Amino acid sequence: MNLSDPFSRFRTGLLAALLFASGVIAWAADAPTLKGAYREDFQVGVAVNRSIVTGTPSPRRVAALVAQDTELAKAQFNQISPENDLKWQLIHPREGPDGYDFGPADAFVNFGLSNRMEVVGHTLVWHSQTPNWVFAGTNPPPAVIDAPAVVAASTNAPGTNRPGPGRFGPGGFGRYDGPRASREELLARMRDHIHTVVGRYRGKVKCWDVVNEALADGPATNVLRKSLWLEIVGPDFIAKAFQYAHEADPDAILRYNDYGLENPVKRRKLITLIKTLQEQKVPIHAIGSQAHVNVGTTFETMDQTLTELATLGLAIHITELDVNGAQGGQQGFGADTASNAATTGGGLVSDADRKLADAYAGIFRAFLKHRDTVKLVTFWGVNDAVSWRANGKPLLFNGTNQPKPAFDAVIAEAKKTAAGK
Ligand code: GLA
């Protein structure tokens, strides 16, 4: 824009409005942005799918909408997380020297770097979306294999962000029950995976979810999730993963990431786990709180959550924020997030937009109150149409990338805080 030409701003605005109306761009140049409104407080990021970073249409999203999604991601956010493409199942589907598929992950990282966005890696060690070969070996499995806690759960299908065949469903990514690797074999595979993936993006990916969802739901006595990582390696699989990631990139911020931390029982488990890791001098630098919450989540709940998490003395990253607006959505925040996608079919509550806006206002008020420790807030998806909880319309933009009242509410909270500074 030529600053000495008084009409240049007008013409730029007009052009932006025309492009906006025609759907070529999703966001007018002068409109408020999340990254702008919160620039003094924390980074605001978004999980992106493969279509967004490659500009490729998919069977459920035509090219014009994908172009809008991409524009919105660039306009509104200054950090990105990969919705699927860095998960083990996608980046490392096969054993052996040719076992890695780096293409989509490279595209994701390059998209972030070329748009000057902070790039987060998600996720290195998880019980879900990990191929069976990782756990396979020659040791007979135990005679009785416990059923997984969530059987019919849904999560993102590979390469999409639609609920897929399930964390434990068909497709080879469920709970493997054949002959198992030894502890040494599994640790060697973990080390190779972490060293290769973190090493490849060293200096580019600044922050990693090293271990995802290692905590169990349910009673306080049941601390760690019964995963194959735990059963084969033992509880130190968590410390080992952080150690390997730190070796691969000593400058990276390493996160432990989990859901349901708004639940006091789960939160206490998290605090116990992290304190133990800290006592063992495990290189862990941030807590990732997924925050897949529902419209009933209040300022008080989030304030209490952040107050207690802050006692660990680590940065807090809100890693997968969405607020389910549907009846039958996450009723209690103890529920496994995997079961939420399956339960959002009950229809929207009345005045859903208003309720969602109120919930988001309270949640962001709490983030702002804790802005000394909250360093990053990442939304799990750019808009309702591409959300894994699409039925719950949980995000700030609708399926055609128009801002909802919740967007205005989130911007308004930042302005109120800025005015009070
Ligand atoms: C968890 C994972 C995410 C995503 C969501 C649901 O929160 O961390 O990667 O799979 O489940 O899709």
Tens-digit pLDDT profile for residues 29-49: 678 999 999 999 999 999 999
Q: Is the CB of 337 under 6 A from ligand 1?
A: yes
- Please indicate, yes or no, if residue 11 is contained in any of the structural domains: no
- Please indicate, yes or no, if residue 26 is contained in any of the structural domains: no
- Please indicate, yes or no, if residue 333 is contained in any of the structural domains: yes
**Nearest by Cα to 398 from 353, 354, 359:** 353
Query: Is the pLDDT score of 171 beyond 60?
Result: no
- Please indicate, yes or no, if residue 16 is contained in any of the structural domains: no
Q: Please give the distance of CA 17 from its chain centroid, rounded to a whole number.
A: 32
Q: Is the CB of 320 under 6 A from ligand 1?
A: yes
CA torsion angle for 399, 378, 102, 123 (degrees, to 10)? -120
- Identify the burial level of 4 via C-beta atoms within 10 angstroms of its C-beta, where 0-12 means exposed, 13-18 middle and 19 or more buried: exposed
In total, how many domains does the chain have? 1
Per the structure, the complete domain to which residue 52 belongs is given by 34-420
Q: How far apart are the CA of 246 and the centre of ligand 1, in A?
A: 23
Question: Is the dihedral angle over the CA atoms 354, 371, 211, 104 positive or is it negative?
Answer: positive
Atom of ligand 1 lying closest to residue 156 CA: 12
Tokens matching residue 181: 């690797």
pLDDT tier, 336 (very low <50, low <70, confident <90, very high otherwise): very low
The Cα 129–Cα 150 span in angstroms is: 14
Q: Is the CB of 89 under 6 A from ligand 1?
A: no
Q: Which domain CATH number covers 157?
A: 3.20.20.80
Q: How far apart are the CA of 241 and the centre of ligand 1, in A?
A: 19
Residue 97 pLDDT: 77
- Please indicate, yes or no, if residue 41 is contained in any of the structural domains: yes
Atom of ligand 1 lying closest to residue 290 CA: 7
- Please indicate, yes or no, if residue 4 is contained in any of the structural domains: no
The pLDDT tens digits of the residues spanning 231-255 come to 999 999 999 999 999 999 999 999 9
Query: Averaged over 180-197, what is the pLDDT?
Result: 98
Residues 6+ apart with CB under 8 A from 317: 207, 255, 286, 287, 288, 289, 374, 375, 376, 377, 378
- Please indicate, yes or no, if residue 285 is contained in any of the structural domains: yes
The more confidently predicted of residues 1 and 123 is 123
The Cα 59–Cα 193 span in angstroms is: 32
Query: Is the pLDDT score of 350 beyond 60?
Result: no
The three-class DSSP label of residue 78 is: coil
The more confidently predicted of residues 109 and 25 is 109
Residue 81 pLDDT: 98
The three-class DSSP label of residue 71 is: helix
Please name the residue that has the structure tokens 């524009």: 71
Query: Is the pLDDT score of 62 beyond 70?
Result: yes
Residues forming beta bridges with residue 289, ordered by sequence position: 258, 318
Q: How far apart are the CA of 370 and the centre of ligand 1, in A?
A: 24
- Please indicate, yes or no, if residue 387 is contained in any of the structural domains: yes
Residue whose CB lies within 8 A of the most ligand 1 atoms, among 255, 257, 337, 340, for a mutation test: 337
Instruction: Give exposure, 161-193, as e/b (b: 16+ Cβ within 10 Å).
Output: bbbbebbbeeeebbbbeeebbebebbbebbbeb
**Nearest by Cα to 89 from 133, 147, 154:** 133
The three-class DSSP label of residue 106 is: helix
Residue 146 pLDDT: 57
